[in-house]
């Protein structure tokens, strides 16, 4: 993510992190070898910290892949908490389930295979302390309409990849249409009367939006 932070700063941030446990390190290695998109340990710690700060007990995760960030959430919500994992790929879900069992958090995670937006649309308004948005970027604007209603007042909508390799700084020059979609998504986050948003320039950008 050289367009977001200086390489030396990026190396410092990641080299300073405490060593993760065996399960998380295994997923990190698999993700690197197989080019699986995960949030990585620096963002994982932010997600965990935000959930602890909020004393979150319910998290809806949109776009969970092999469950790396799901484990960070599940550990934060505690034994009585609930995290909903969503992914459209059954192989991803099966692999994630094995990691959940190895991490000892399988009993607090509901694994849902299918369209994350459809699954979220079936949830009651105000059901969640946190909704985490990490689906296909083309769907971000649709997510915003669904997610805000399903976060409780005082809860958080958290969105990954909101700086999109730095291309949101000048999206009209980008050959990737997703940069324009994400730039518009960010604009709507900041202009929303229901949300108070801050974008953290960590990894590929994380938007933290408090529901007012």
pLDDT tens digits along 69-107: 999 999 999 999 999 999 999 999 999 999 999 999 999
Does the pTM surpass 0.75? The reply is yes
The pLDDT of residue 19 is 96
The pLDDT of residue 2 is 53
In angstroms, the CA 181 to CA 168 distance is 9
45 close to 17: Cβ distance less than 8 angstroms: yes
Which phi and psi (to 5°) does residue 22 adopt?
A: -60, -40
13-56 pLDDT, tens digit each: 999 999 999 999 999 999 999 999 999 999 999 999 999 999 99
Domains in the chain and their CATH numbers?
7-211 (3.40.50.150)
In angstroms, the CA 58 to CA 51 distance is 9
67: left (phi over 0), alpha (psi -120 to 50) or beta: left
**Who's near 119: CB < 8 A, 6+ residues apart?**
84, 86, 112
In angstroms, the CA 128 to CA 120 distance is 10
Q: Would the pLDDT of 5 be above 90? A: no
């Amino acid at each position: 993510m050289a367009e977001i932070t200086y390489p030396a700063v990026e190396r410092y941030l990641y080299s300073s992190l405490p060593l993760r446990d065996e399960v998380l390190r295994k997923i990190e290695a698999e993700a690197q070898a197989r080019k699986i998109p995960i949030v990585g340990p620096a963002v994982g710690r932010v997600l965990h910290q935000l959930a602890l700060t909020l004393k979150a007990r319910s998290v809806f995760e949109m776009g969970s892949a092999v469950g790396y960030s799901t484990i960070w959430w599940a550990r934060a919500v505690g034994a009585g908490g609930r995290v909903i994992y969503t992914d459209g790929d059954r192989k991803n879900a099966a692999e994630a389930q094995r990691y959940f069992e190895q991490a000892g958090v399988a009993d607090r995670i509901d694994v849902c295979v299918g369209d994350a937006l459809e699954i979220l649309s079936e949830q009651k308004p105000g059901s969640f302390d946190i909704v985490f948005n990490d689906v296909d970027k083309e769907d971000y604007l649709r997510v915003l309409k669904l997610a805000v209603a399903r976060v409780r007042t005082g809860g958080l909508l958290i969105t990954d990849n909101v700086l999109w390799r730095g291309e949101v700084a000048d999206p009209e020059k980008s050959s990737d249409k997703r940069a324009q979609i994400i730039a518009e998504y960010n604009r709507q986050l900041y202009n929303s009367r229901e949300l108070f948003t801050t974008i953290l320039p960590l990894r590929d950008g994380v938007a933290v939006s408090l529901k007012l």
